[in-house]
Amino acid sequence: MALNNKHNNKSKEHKEHKVRNFRLALIDDQTHEQFLTLHFSRASFLVAIVSVVVIFSAAIFAIVAYTPVRVFIPGYPDEGSKRAAIQNAIKVDSLENEIYKWELYSENLRRTVEGREPLKIDSIINARKAEVVPTDATALQKQDSLLRQQVKQEEQFEISSRAKRALPIEGMHFFTPVKGVISQGYDPDFHPYIDITAPSGSVVKAVLDGTVISAQWNEETGNSIQIQHSGDIVSIYRHNEKLLKKTGDKVTAGTPIALLGNTGTTTTGPHLHFELWHNGQSIDPTSYISF
């Protein structure tokens, strides 16, 4: 009797641990014909669900990553945006290189004029890296005071060290002082200026931004005016009928500064005697200005 009870208990435990199977069937409601029957267990059902989710996720990733559909996602850059960003980065790099070249050219031009040895591009780069800004408050105040004093002295006629970093004269845009006919051209030895014939009373204008350093009467040249420009450039206008600016006035390119006339003993008719000087030497105005 005890053996039978033990056998029955084992049979019950075996039935309880037996894997339960399920069946999913598609049946016609009218004919009761089965079209599809699926047999599965709980484990196989979970595996199937996980597999479907993984395959679906992989399909979505493939569509987004390898098809043009990704451009419709908000915030995702398209090919045009990427191409524009690359081109802009190239342009910025090119502009930075051009700035470095201009800095080197300007510095070497100044050194050449002063009779010093030109710099190399490596020297400028190393100098930029070696720049140290003082953090001591006393040093900063001292530098600020010296700078203020220097600027105050130099800005009287707007001649400061900033002019050293100006573009070379070939890169400047000159305003035409007066429209007329050149009656006598430039000769570096006998006539280091030009004469421009125009109607009396024509408006004479400044060729560049600058400061009037002289505006006075001279017996030979009549009413004359001189303007100091950046880049060590000076322009001179003589034989004017009337001066419209005085010494110390700041002018911009195209500003009326005088009225053309026939004043002075060395003139034979209404015209503008125009001189252009650079680094202390006279230059031909027609090489830089259209008359």
pLDDT value, residue 27 = 82
Q: How many structural domains comprise the chain?
A: 1
CA distances from 245 to 66, 109, 257 (A): 72, 33, 5
Domain residues for 241? 170-287
Q: Positive or negative CA dihedral for 66, 72, 76, 81?
A: positive
Q: Which residue has the tokens 């034979």?
A: 268
In a domain, 103, yes or no: no
In a domain, 51, yes or no: no
In a domain, 200, yes or no: yes
In a domain, 6, yes or no: no
Q: Which residue has the tokens 């006075």?
A: 216
pLDDT value, residue 233 = 93
**Distance, first Cα to last Cα, the chain:** 134
pLDDT value, residue 164 = 43
pLDDT value, residue 46 = 86
In a domain, 28, yes or no: no
Cβ atoms of residues 257 and 251 within 8 Å: yes
Helix or strand (DSSP H, E) at 59: helix 42-66
Give the pLDDT means over successive 10-residue stretches in the chain (291 positions).
54 58 79 77 83 89 74 64 76 77 75 69 53 51 65 55 57 90 92 94 94 93 94 94 94 95 92 94 92 81
- Find, among 238, 269, 254, the residue nearest to 177 by Cα: 254
In a domain, 191, yes or no: yes
Residue 291 has which token pair? 């008359």
CATH of the domain at 261: 2.70.70.10
pLDDT value, residue 161 = 45
pLDDT value, residue 152 = 63
Residue 160 has which token pair? 């400061």
CA distances from 58 to 61, 74, 280 (A): 5, 21, 77
In a domain, 209, yes or no: yes
In a domain, 219, yes or no: yes
